Amino acid sequence: MFKAPLLYGMYGIHLARNDKENFAMNNLNLFFEPDSIALIGATEGMKFGYVATKCLLDSKFKIYLVNPNEKEIMGVETYKSVLDIQDDIDLAVIMIPARFVLTAVKECAEKGIKAIIIESAGFSEIGEDGRRLEEEIVEISRKNGMRIIGPNCLGVLDTHSSLSTTGMSTNSLKRGQISVITQSGMLGNILTEWMPSQNVGLSKVISIGNKCDVDEVDLLEYLGNDDRTKVITMYLEGTKDGRRFLDAAKKVTKRKPVLIVKGGRSVEGAQTTASHTGSMAGEDRVYESMFKQAGIIRVDDFEELFSFAKTFEYQPLPKSNRIAIITTSGSLAVLACDECAVQGLKLPKLSEEGINDLKMEVPDWVSVKNPLDLGPSMNYWSPIETILKDENVDSLLVIMVAPLESFGGKDVIDAMFLSLREVLSDQGGKTVLFCTIGDPNLTIKNARENLERYNIPVFTSSPSAVRGIAALYRYKRYLERCKVVDSQESNH
């Protein structure tokens, strides 16, 4: 069993919360849908704060700029302190040197601001002096009913409200139902910049940094109740309260999937997390046990994290572990079959009816079995429809490799994906994934534009696609176990 004390209070900053304090879930909505924002550290100089200043001023929100050294920034009046602002402020974003942050937080408390994002670095991640400063800030927030994200972070991005304190505009992003929690600030922006090329539909991105107050558990609970989030993804280096994390995750995963990339597996990686975000990674086997108990899907890298997230967003959970594979590449099918064995997925024999139908649909040189290797036959559509109707199959992986020159150029590829989209539009409630390899700006981009618009996720690795189906199936089994346990508990 998971021993929560192994992960308790490693820095002594994250204070205990209880019902009497009524503090844990104070309105986090202010971080995502504020009416007014004070930017403390606004600047038009090319330094930290410039991009965020420009981005916020270009937004629809009411922005108040705070800088005691300037009367005007980018043509907008500035204030020496938030105390000089006459209107109420919902959210303060602090982007000033660490030595000035404590005073700014005290002024926010006096102003009655209830939500603060501290993007400044120089706190617990640098050592004892920074840790003490961070503790003082937490103490002020507790006494005044404030919530704080950070420090040492890049804040939040919400594609639905169009808010971004990260310096990145939401205009270029695809709006969707995948939310991201990350301890690393810069990583959040890098991933957000990369996601449009992967056709990932985002809801929210939250960088929590040192998480002196609002942490991954608060956000798990919040996103678990967020109607605009269907899948929760996370980059986690460590948690300061293992039992609280486990309890929250168990509740959330009954409603929606949680996928995590966990850093700090090795001794060297764990040591690096302490200087990165002030976290202690803890023993990896403890986290592995905790993830399994809570039904969390653990993945090894960010490409799979978001490929799997799209799969959970787009596809139904498979009814069983029975998978069929249709391929134009024998080698990619071999790799997929190997991964099926590793993941515990079965390649069933097709039904007699299905085999008979396929024999009439494919050239006589095609061996009719599972996996079905169609090679260069160019006759894909009828076999796909037939296998989707097969009673022995609950998931389908379509592997299609289409070299542009030998297949007749871009126009032929465009027509091929268009036809494939039409065939796959009726999945019959079954899980369907697509895999291809080729030019990222032609073949793969075209596949994503044609298929993912209609909820067919595109992978560029056949073993990864198999792991995606396996993740869906494991999550389905977890939900079934939860129902049994809940039923047993309700009968006692």
Per DSSP, helices labelled H in 367-424 are 381-388, 410-424
Q: Would you tell me how many other CB atoms lie within 10 Å of the CB of residue 453? A: 10
pLDDT score at 431: 97
Sheet holding 372-373, edge to edge: 372-373, 323-327, 395-399, 431-435, 458-459
> What pLDDT, on a 0 to 100 scale, did the predictor assign at position 192?
87
User: What local confidence, expressed as pLDDT, does residue 441 receive?
Assistant: 83
In angstroms, rounded to a whole number, what is the distance separating the alpha carbons of residues 131 and 124? Answer: 4
Considering Cα of 196, then 153, then 210, then 14, what sign does the dihedral take?
negative
Q: Residue 109: in which H helix or E strand, if any?
A: helix 98-111
Domains of the chain (ranges plus CATH)? 28-149 (3.40.50.720), 155-313 (3.40.50.261), 317-477 (3.40.50.261)
User: What local confidence, expressed as pLDDT, does residue 228 receive?
Assistant: 97
Q: Residue 75: what pLDDT?
A: 96
CA–chain centroid gap for 165, Å, is 18
Spans of the chain below 50 pLDDT: 1-26, 274-278, 280-281
Contact 466, 307 (CB under 8 A): no
N- to C-terminal Cα separation, the chain? 23
d(CA 315, CA 189): 27
What value does the CA radius of gyration of the chain take, rounded to a whole number of Å?
25
In angstroms, rounded to a whole number, what is the distance separating the alpha carbons of residues 393 and 322? 5
Q: Compute the Cα dihedral for 173, 177, 181, 187 and give only its sign.
A: negative
